[in-house]
Structure 1
């Protein structure tokens, strides 16, 4: 993938370039960008061509930047490129031009393409994706250690006046631990709307072989328990092992344990309600 100017610098005349295009050896991707026919078109080649076509001031941003960093698996239909506000690039197919400044401190070159740094990319992409899909992205990158929560907060403070700052603030609140408390509220509302009653929240019990435990949402008579998680980001190995021992103690104590999380409760609350109803029904039949 290269520009016409790069081909000229390498010694190819305009006539030779035109001949290669006619013979199908080189394929014109954009007005000033060519691709060797030996290399197939891929999402990454499409993005590289778009950046080359806009010029040296182009910076890959948003979901396109997240894809370039390999944070997400599917490239967006349009390549999102930021240019300085004074720039006036011509519209081109498959490219979304955003006139906004990108500070040198927020810009880095990755595999030959100028792209926003990781923390800036995560916030911008999450804001574009929306609350639930953006939360999934943020949860995944935090869990994998791609970027830290403090780095995200620092970028958010520096860019709080930009478009998308509101959704980013909500996502950071959820990432900081708010997802679990929000999940609890959603679970309570979902059960109430379905007419499922008779549960208590934050009920403390003593489990033989384990000790004291606080149950998120418990139906004491049928001994059905709902355990509510926030994001995977907050579950390290130590917590996972502790939860496994706790759940084993609960099962041995005769409890049916249903696990849910913020993503299920916000995306598929009916699935959550159905699981609870089925567990209660099974216990009523067995008694």
Structure 2
């Protein structure tokens, strides 16, 4: 295309110039908001923008985690990259260009990403986002618990790490989504940590038909089962019917079932309601083994 053709499309807002030498040829401005662009798409767009604006660069921090597929980052990201040599370069807004050299990186789908992304990202966010990022990295097996511990200790002197010292032990790779992480944190904060995450539930014939996000064993032999619904998973009609049938099977004389949304989890509404049930039952912590199965037959 000629420069004139490109200029014409940017003037009419058909295309958007997001950085020097980088054009977004998708919907822009108000159109994007009206179309309800998915948050994850916006995160990935930000992560890629830095790499396009600075050819040869390496994605760092939150942007590197997004490219790895790690969940839990804030909805709005600042594109950030570093150059392998750390050599000075002119900034290209809105991209943040780190000045420290990068001597190690990994290839993720053809894009360079630092391998120390967690220790860069965690100090940039709050406690809930940080815990979700760590849980997701563990769940996706991008890092194991031992390496997570050694990595956080080795980076203890980095800028911003001091305030995160108590966050790292909260990580648990059994949480399968940020909403589950936030729900678990609200319960832990209230003094009612789950006895088990991802509890398997079996019906007649010993067949497992469900895994429950968070569960507690009550003194009378019943169980409190908490489910965290993700809109993207449960909003389709077929999923709604399947969830209703599953919910009906979980609700028995031996169970107390509570369901919450991701919004409930983010705003800390899970912990107080769980606390009400557990206080009334006389519950005491009783951690269950990861392979425990609740038999409802």
Q: Deviations over 1:150-209 (max 9, x none)?
A: 2222333443332233244322223389x9xx9898436xxxxxxxxxxxxxxxxxxxxx
CA contact (8 A) 2:84 2:102 kept: yes
Label 1:115 to 1:91 Cα distance change in 2 as closer, same or farther (>3 A). Answer: same
Query: Aligned-pair distance for 1:148?
Result: 1.0
Q: Deviations over 1:28-81 (max 9, x none)?
A: 54323356x4x667633453232122232x221122122111212765331122
1:94 alignment counterpart:
94
CA contact (8 A) 1:54 1:89 kept: no
Give me the whole-angstrom Cα distance separating, in 2, the residues matched to 1:230 and 1:245: 5
Query: Aligned-pair distance for 1:116?
Result: 1.6
1:154 alignment counterpart:
150
TM-score (norm 1): 0.53
CA contact (8 A) 1:62 1:125 kept: yes
Give me the whole-angstrom Cα distance separating, in 2, the residues matched to 1:98 and 1:267: 33
1:32 alignment counterpart:
21
Structure 1: stretches of 5+ with no match in the other structure: 1-15, 189-226, 281-287
**Partner of residue 137 from structure 1, selected from 133, 136, 139:** 133
Give me the whole-angstrom Cα distance separating, in 2, the residues matched to 1:116 and 1:251: 47
Superposition CA RMSD, Å = 4.8
Give me the whole-angstrom Cα distance separating, in 1, the residues matched to 2:273 and 2:16: 55
1:1-287 equivalences under 5 Å are 17-22=2-7, 24=9, 28-34=17-23, 37=25, 43=42, 44-56=44-56, 58-72=57-71, 76-83=76-83, 87-104=87-104, 107-117=105-115, 120-175=116-171, 186-187=189-190, 228-229=193-194, 232=197, 246-247=217-218, 250-251=221-222, 268=268, 272=272, 276=276, 280=280
Label 1:134 to 1:175 Cα distance change in 2 as closer, same or farther (>3 A). Answer: same
Label 1:236 to 1:69 Cα distance change in 2 as closer, same or farther (>3 A). Answer: farther
Label 1:100 to 1:149 Cα distance change in 2 as closer, same or farther (>3 A). Answer: same
Q: How many residues align?
A: 211
CA contact (8 A) 2:63 2:77 kept: no
Query: Aligned-pair distance for 1:270?
Result: 9.1
Give me the whole-angstrom Cα distance separating, in 2, the residues matched to 1:172 and 1:145: 16
Structure 2: stretches of 5+ with no match in the other structure: 29-40, 174-180, 202-210, 224-252, 281-297
CA contact (8 A) 1:258 1:275 kept: no
Give the secondary-structure state (helix, strand or coil) at the position aligned to 2:107. strand
Label 1:245 to 1:163 Cα distance change in 2 as closer, same or farther (>3 A). Answer: closer
Give me the whole-angstrom Cα distance separating, in 2, the residues matched to 1:51 and 1:89: 14
Query: Aligned-pair distance for 1:277?
Result: 8.2
Give me the whole-angstrom Cα distance separating, in 2, the residues matched to 1:186 and 1:248: 22
2:291 alignment counterpart:
none
TM-score (norm 2): 0.52
CA contact (8 A) 1:77 1:94 kept: no
CA contact (8 A) 2:190 2:275 kept: no
Label 1:153 to 1:267 Cα distance change in 2 as closer, same or farther (>3 A). Answer: same
More helix by share: 1
Give me the whole-angstrom Cα distance separating, in 2, the residues matched to 1:83 and 1:95: 13
